[in-house]
């Protein structure tokens, strides 16, 4: 699922760039998915590359971090933190953002 998530991010970014559309992409990790934003995650290098290129902003749910006993010092650099990932997603939907779930 994690690799599929970043395939979707890369496809979105490539299509938007080709069509000269400026778009913000956020990946919100919550529940068990919070593990992908750990510094030692299997997909950590792919996430670092996506963040470095500016493909997407990575957002970590602090509720999920707490549930899995994760602290910010074990997470990737440049991750943005929100209290509750699901609230962030609902707020974005209310603002007109589209939600895609791989």
Residues 6+ apart with CB under 8 A from 29: 35, 36, 37, 58, 59, 60, 61, 64, 85
- Residue 50, phi then psi, degrees to nearest 5: -65, -40
Q: What is the mean pLDDT of residues 12-29?
A: 92
The pTM (predicted TM-score) of the whole model is 0.91
pLDDT per residue as tens digits for the range 64-85: 999 999 999 999 999 999 999 9
Q: What is the mean pLDDT of residues 87-91?
A: 98
Paired with 42 in beta bridges are: none
């Amino acid at each position: 699922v994690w690799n599929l998530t970043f395939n979707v991010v890369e496809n979105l970014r490539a299509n938007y760039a080709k069509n000269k559309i400026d778009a913000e992409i956020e990946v919100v990790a919550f529940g068990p998915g919070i593990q992908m934003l750990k510094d030692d995650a299997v997909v950590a290098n792919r996430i670092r590359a996506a963040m470095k290129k500016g493909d997407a902003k990575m957002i970590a749910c602090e509720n999920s971090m707490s549930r899995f006993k994760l602290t910010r010092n074990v997470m990737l650099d440049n991750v943005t933190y929100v209290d509750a990932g699901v609230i962030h997603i609902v707020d974005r939907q209310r603002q007109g953002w589209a939600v895609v779930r791989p």
